[in-house]
Amino acid sequence: MTLLRKFCCLASAVAISYSSLGVASGQGLDANASPYDAAVRNAADPASGPSALAPLRQAPQAPGGPSAPIPQVVPTAPQGFDYRANLQSDVFGAQLFTGAFANAGATQFNPDYLIAGGDSLQVRLWGAFEFDSALTVDPQGNIFLPHVGPVSVRGVRNQELQGVVAAAVRRVFRANVNSYASLAAAQPVRVFVGGYVYRPGLYSGTSMDSLLHFLDQAGGIDPERGSFLNVQVKRGMQVRATVNLYDFLLDGSMPLNQLATGDVIFVGPRQSMVKVSGLAESAKRFEFAAAAMPTVDDLARMAKPNPQATHVRVVRNTGTTRNTEYFPLDQARDVRLQGGDELEFTADKKPGTISVRVEGEHMSAQEYVLPYGTRLGTLMQQIELNERSEGESVQLFRQSVKQRQKEMLATSLHSLESALLTARSGSEGEALLRKTEAELTLQWIDRAKKVDPLGQVVISQAQERDDLLLENGDVLRIPTRDGLVLVSGEVLFPNAVVYQNALMLKDYIDRAGGYTQSADVTRLVIARRDGSFDQTETDSNLPVRPGDQVMVLPKVDEKKRQFWKEMFQIVYQIAVSARVVVGL
């Protein structure tokens, strides 16, 4: 009795175990089936719930039986890999690998793809006989169609698949049955990536993915060690293809190599390099085979010099000696390069003509194209003045002078800013006072940085004016005799006052409302139209002429401002270069 009870308990345990695998629940496990077979069937059936064996592919089915979909490999970019090394490299082609190819899925429309074992084909039959299913190419290279039998599809091109299946169906169904077949999913593969890449390893994809997909998953080619010209696809000991990635980068040509599980993508060592700099769209380092070094013309087609480039400098690194050669572009086409050479495309153009614009009160053209080296006196002879023109106060504005004025102002402001931020205090109270003062001064510095100098050249004497060489981009302005005096700065009502011969400097200031409380009455600046300046005091007898600008500068309190001298110099510098007064 005890033995019988033990046997019943054992039988119950076996039944429970089989029930957990879906056998006792009526899923049709035959007498010869094993628990492993049941687990595989559950893995293929989504309704059976999760299973530890779910990633496994379904076991081969009997002819005519149901076919489970093949698990698809979804390619993903390498997690945690930093592609900035590729983006920051100066090697041509390194920017190719940024993770974009690793994220891209496989296309199903490659007409030259060869059907292989494990591919999933969608087959539909309609008419007198109905059939619609996804069939897997078995290890013998066949798919099994009901009432038709096995159809060999291994090695068939994707664009010819429909014809092969239709021919097999017509051998059985002479009429009233139509067929359609297409590639549903390529075979998942795992490919080795080795050589000079950032992350050698084994990577997943499909047999339809290009080698760029697998290289990108490996982080891309190491530009300091790997070759973009020698990427091999190996199967066993055989090299099936050698890919030059420059063909893709320059011409968009990429051979489609169908990969299989166990294939190896191998990146060889980097070959000879030539560096390009200067006026070129692709100022990078280019790789070349040592046995086929290019000419300057070959490299120019890859680097694409800018239209303004006229010459090329070739620096040759021959051993311990650096030799420099300099050629016009049209004479350097056949110059043969060597590994380690450095090329710089330059613009060596001699100016033939310059363009000068003439504005203001005159009767002549406003744009003049003159020979290089023309002087201002020559241009003045071509300008026709009228009765309203003030020819003795010609103004000249130059871009190079404007840039220098801006640089000098920036240097002064930076020096003042550094002194404010590094000043030391003797006590906590003094530190608080200096902090408040520094904040106000920094706000004033921000306003001063926005001032744009005029770039006016001082040409006070007629003889010096006529001998002045003109530059390209100069602007010549002929003032109008308007009879006005402009009063600006620290006055109550900055305005233009009509010139009167009897009025003195103080009279013009009074007519502008007089000084403000922030005015420095001991330092006034009179800006003349010709670019010259005079500094004077209130009671000075310095004459004021029509067209002058009187600027009243702000007062810098030396008791409250630690850097009052520097600030006053900057205020005066802004007034002279931009003819504006920046209040404190």
The per-residue pLDDT for 522 is 81
Mean pLDDT of 292-308: 91
Mean pLDDT of 396-416: 89
The per-residue pLDDT for 246 is 92
- The 10 Å Cβ neighbour count of residue 573 is 18
More confident residue, 439 or 541: 439
Residues forming a β-bridge with 157: 114
Superfamily of domain 93-104+188-269: Outer membrane lipoprotein wza domain like (3.10.560.10)
Total count of residues recorded for the chain: 584
pLDDT band at 161 (very low <50, low <70, confident <90, very high): confident
Could you give the angle at the alpha carbon of 354 between the alpha carbons of 349 and 357, nearest 5°? 150
The per-residue pLDDT for 130 is 86
- The 10 Å Cβ neighbour count of residue 371 is 10
The per-residue pLDDT for 544 is 87
Q: Give the highest mean pLDDT range of 24-33, 293-302, 519-528.
A: 293-302
More confident residue, 34 or 259: 259
pLDDT band at 268 (very low <50, low <70, confident <90, very high): very high
9-26, pLDDT tens digit by residue? 444 443 434 333 333 333
More confident residue, 290 or 315: 315
Quick one: fold of 407-454+482-578? Answer: Outer membrane lipoprotein wza fold like (3.10.560)
The Cα 251–Cα 448 span in angstroms is 52
Architecture of domain 120-185: 2-Layer Sandwich (3.30)
Q: For the chain, which residues make up each domain, given as ranges? A: 35-60+67-71, 93-104+188-269, 120-185, 278-346, 407-454+482-578
For residue 85, pLDDT beyond 70: yes
For residue 444, pLDDT beyond 60: yes
The proportion of the chain whose per-residue pLDDT surpasses 90, expressed as a percent, equals 29
The per-residue pLDDT for 563 is 64
The per-residue pLDDT for 173 is 85
More confident residue, 231 or 107: 231
pLDDT band at 577 (very low <50, low <70, confident <90, very high): confident
For residue 4, pLDDT beyond 50: no
Q: Give the highest mean pLDDT range of 28-42, 49-63, 490-504.
A: 490-504
For residue 49, pLDDT beyond 60: no
For residue 306, pLDDT beyond 50: yes
Q: Give the highest mean pLDDT range of 85-94, 191-200, 420-429.
A: 191-200
The per-residue pLDDT for 104 is 56
Spatial contact of 276 and 343, defined as CB atoms under 8 Å apart: yes
Who contacts 579 (Cβ-Cβ below 8 Å, separation ≥6)? Answer: 454, 527, 549, 551
* Nearest in space to 308 (alpha carbons), one of 341, 351, 342, 275: 351
